[in-house]
Chain A
Amino acid sequence: MLKYTLSRLGYMVVTLWVIVTITFFLMHLLPGTQLKNEEKLPPEIREQIIASYGLDKPLMVQYGLFLEKLVQGDLGNSMNLDGRSVTDLILQGFPASALIGIQGVIFGVIIGLALGIIAALRRGTWVDNLSTVIAIAGVSVPSFVAAGLLSFWVGVKWGILPVAGWESWEYSILPSLALSFFVISQMARYVRSEMVEVLDQDYMKTAKAKGLKRSAIVVRHAMRNALIPAITVLGPLTINIITGSVVVEQIFNIPGDGKYFVDSITTNDYTMIMGITIFYAILFIVAIFLVDLLYGVIDPRIRIASAKE
């Protein structure tokens, strides 16, 4: 287990380094200038600005400096927002993004679990059909369309919840719901098929033969075993939530990292694009790593299998 963890950690570092390097060099291939109102600047000031960002040094030196600063957690200053630190900006936007993301996942997992379990227990009934329909619809209706439907019906037509901005908790409900659609569908689909498989196992018959109550059989024996594989869905889900939040934050005008990301692309804010790219890469990689570890810890069969390898 320790060996496995260490080698995974090694991969994480290599992957991150690859991403950082590619990002860095691609950013320097970009067309367009990083300076605002370049033509209005006197040459001395222009040179001063360029020197202050280190853009006058050879590329490899810039790369070295960039890596050195990165290790210290310094992502440089934003080129567009008057020299504010990129790290500060990212941390400032993170709570909003994290709130809608986590709420979306929690809500989606609860509803998805419930749907999947009920569908498996009542196979072939309308609940089962409903959960199949939801599972397929959730994959086919992207979060940006779900966001539109929600903000039109709930926000504009019924006027129950605010559609844009970020002032109180109510503002996070619609974005979280828009993100949760995909989670619900994936969870429901996966949990249902796992439950169906577990319910056919011999130990379910044994439990029934022992005279256990149906509720005890379902909760203690079926659900426990069915939920373990469901954890693997959490990795891809995290990725989907982060991608989705970029769009959803834009639509609902939420001051989170996703919105900063889009804004920095439209304003050619190179340091900011690089900062958020790296930040997202870290989030993704750490999330997948944690899910893999969790999986091994919870299910002893996996632990043994990987030890044998």
Chain B
Amino acid sequence: MSANAAKELSPELFEPVASEAGAEERILRERVGFWKDAWRRFRTNPGAMAGLIVLALIVFFAIFGPMMNKYDDHTNNLTISNQEHIGDHYFGTDNLGRDLWQRTWHGAQVSLLIALLAALIDLCIGVTIGSISGYFGGRVDDILQRIIEILYSIPNLIVVTLMLLVFDPGIVPIAVALSITGWVPMARVVRAQIMKLKSQEYVLAARTLGAGHRRILFKHLIPNVMGPIIVAVTFAIPSAIFFEAFLSMIGLGIRPPQASLGSLVFDGYNYLQIYPYQLFYPAAILCLIMLAFNLVGDGLRDALDPRMRK
């Protein structure tokens, strides 16, 4: 072995490699930014990807599903009431002969809309209050924290019920009622993150360069908190969908003839013993939406903060 190796040695092997100035500094691989890196991690998580696909399918059907047959969600046809398999009523018909396929996807639209709207309001209030509280600290923080502490211990069951007794239930009032206490977890997440970040050197550098509070908050701090914020939004959506359904149940949800997934589930309860499909279709879609958001949320949390993963 060693004899062989010795034979192959020749002088040209010992010539210096041609060196070009700055070659070591050149970046050979494609640059991977934070979001790209996160997406790469997210993609390897089968559960999260499955959640994303289910979610895409549901959104697709919520938008285009109602165009797939010739019925609408509110026309009665008592001659075909409570039929499970009939023509192109894919999900059958309800007790008034309305097409359940139409009602389910229109309901999914309403539920998703309420949840997204509620999450959006949570996001705006939560990020504002959380970043002010975390960034300025001191007395402002003290006062905001006391308010948050009180709001945190008021059960949202109570707040939401009371609000909707006073205001007429519709998509916007329900979303607003849900965000009255809904912004609190978001504010807590943002506050904790901002408090951690505000003592870092780049904030000090920005301040030395003369950046104002507004610039430091919006340009430097909030973009760095985006990860936890997105995760919090993803988890706020299933909980909003749950509460919307809960409101339908106690008679404070979307008013008929409009339907949400929650109200369809509870309409289904009336006929559970004879026509169980009227409960199962909307209930299945509702569970799938919640499942998908939970899976995507878990995946995002792992992808955006690899240290959290076990």
Interface residues, chain A, with chain B CB atoms under 8 Å away: 11-12, 14-15, 18-19, 22-23, 26-27, 29-31, 136-137, 139-142, 144-145, 148, 151-152, 156, 193, 196-197, 239, 242-243, 246-247, 250-251, 261-262, 265-266, 273, 277, 280-281, 284-285, 288
Contacts and interface: CB of A to CB of B under 8 A. Distances in A.
A285 B252 contact: no
B250 A15 contact: no
A145 B286 contact: yes
Interface stretch (B66-74, B106-114, B272-280): B272-280
30 contacts: A15-B153, A15-B154, A18-B150, A19-B158, A29-B166, A136-B291, A136-B294, A136-B298, A137-B291, A139-B290, A140-B290, A141-B287, A141-B290, A144-B245, A148-B265, A156-B272, A196-B310, A239-B155, A243-B155, A246-B246, A247-B249, A247-B250, A251-B269, A262-B250, A265-B252, A266-B251, A273-B165, A281-B154, A284-B153, A285-B153
Contacts of A239: 155, 157
Interface in B231-278: 238, 242, 245-246, 249-252, 265-266, 268-269, 272-273, 276
B154 A19 contact: yes
B189 interface: no
Given A142-B290, A250-B250, 6 more contacts: A31-B166, A141-B287, A144-B265, A265-B250, A265-B251, A284-B153
A145 B249 contact: no
Contact of B265 (A19, A145, A243): A145
B279 A148 contact: yes
Contacts of B150: 11, 14-15, 18
Contact of A250 (B149, B154, B249, B276): B249
Nearest to A196: B310
B304 interface: no
B287 A145 contact: yes
Dominant SS among interface residues on chain A: helix
B26 to A, nearest CB: 41
B175 interface: no
A193 B153 contact: no
Contact of A30 (B166, B279, B283): B166
A152 B155 contact: no
Nearest to B155: A284
Nearest to B291: A140
Nearest to A251: B269
Contacts of B287: 140-142, 145
Contacts of B238: 139-140
B172 interface: no
A15 B290 CA distance: 31
B272 A148 contact: yes
Contacts of B242: 142
A87 B249 CA distance: 25
B221 interface: no
B154 A142 contact: no
B161 interface: yes
A75 B268 CA distance: 36
Interface in B107-165: 149-150, 153-155, 157-158, 161-163, 165
A261 B155 contact: no
Nearest to B297: A139
B295 interface: yes
A242 B155 contact: yes
Nearest to B47: A136
A247 B283 CA distance: 15
A265 B165 contact: yes
Contacts of B252: 265
A280 B158 contact: yes
Interface in B89-116: none
B158 A156 contact: no
Contacts of A141: 287, 290
Contacts of B291: 136-137, 140
A22 B269 CA distance: 34
Nearest to B235: A139
A23 B162 contact: yes
A204 to B, nearest CB: 16
B300 to A, nearest CB: 14
B269 A243 contact: no
B258 to A, nearest CB: 19
A196 B298 CA distance: 18
Contacts of B245: 142, 144
A137 B295 CA distance: 10
Contact of B286 (A14, A142, A277): A142
6 closest residue pairs by CB, A with B = A140-B291, A140-B290, A284-B155, A145-B283, A262-B250, A243-B157
B1 to A, nearest CB: 43
Given A140-B238, A148-B269, A277-B158, A262 B166 contact: no
A93 B250 CA distance: 17
Contacts of B265: 144-145, 148
A251 B157 CA distance: 18
Contact of B246 (A22, A23, A196, A243): A243
A31 B165 CA distance: 8
A281 B162 CA distance: 13
